[in-house]
Amino acid sequence: MFGWKRSKREEYYKKKSHLISRLNKDVIRDGTAYLSCKIEGLDDVLSKFSVKGIQSLNGEFIDEFLSFVDCIPQEYPLVLEIHGPQFTEEEKKMIKEAVISDADYLLGKTEADNRHHRKVFWWMVAGTVGSGVLLGVLKHFVDDVPLEFFYVLFWLFADALVRYLFIEFGDYKNEKIRAGRIASMKVEFVEAQ
């Protein structure tokens, strides 16, 4: 009786996504990804902690936006399409400047993180090579020194180096591309009728 039924777990595991067709239907038009969001007023977009002239985006708005950006393939440029009431030109300018400013901060932070990781990478290379050379020299010329510490040191550096090269490097590159896409995004307004 139970042999004929597929388990729910197996059914969930075999479930396939139709993300590309969904994106083509809802988001992508003429080779551009339009990220639509509906707002009721400036408070939905701008942070309540902003001061005039130095606006930043609302945290909830940023989270919603960033979670959606990650679903869109990297070859599509982004357009943030804001649906809402009729804004004055000054309000539109404030929103655009806040988007550009926050995107620029995100890009700058990502670039700083990548510079830091490149420095760490070169220290890992130097540590791996140095501990390997030191281990080889001590092994051939000095017999009465315990080498376990140098083996552990070598493997710690080598493990971190390999993890960076094969796992983390791609993540850092993708974060830079993501931040660059967001920083080059355009903002359009669609007024409610």
More confident residue, 192 or 49: 49
* The pLDDT of residue 193: 65
CB atoms within 10 A of CB 18: 9
Tally the C-alpha atoms within 13 A of residue 152's C-alpha that lie toward its C-beta: 4
Q: Give the tens place of pLDDT for each residue, 54-87.
A: 888 888 888 888 888 888 888 899 999 999 888 8
pLDDT of residue 91 exceeding 80: yes
Q: Give the tens place of pLDDT for each residue, 156-184.
A: 888 888 888 888 888 888 888 888 898 89
* The pLDDT of residue 172: 87
Please check whether residue 45 is in contact with residue 100, taking contact to mean a CB–CB distance below 8 angstroms.
no
* The pLDDT of residue 109: 92
More confident residue, 133 or 14: 133
pLDDT of residue 2 exceeding 60: no
CA distance 81 to 98: 15
- Beta bridge partners, 34, equal 79
pLDDT of residue 1 exceeding 50: no
Q: Give the tens place of pLDDT for each residue, 101-148.
A: 889 998 999 999 989 988 888 988 898 898 888 888 888 887 777 788
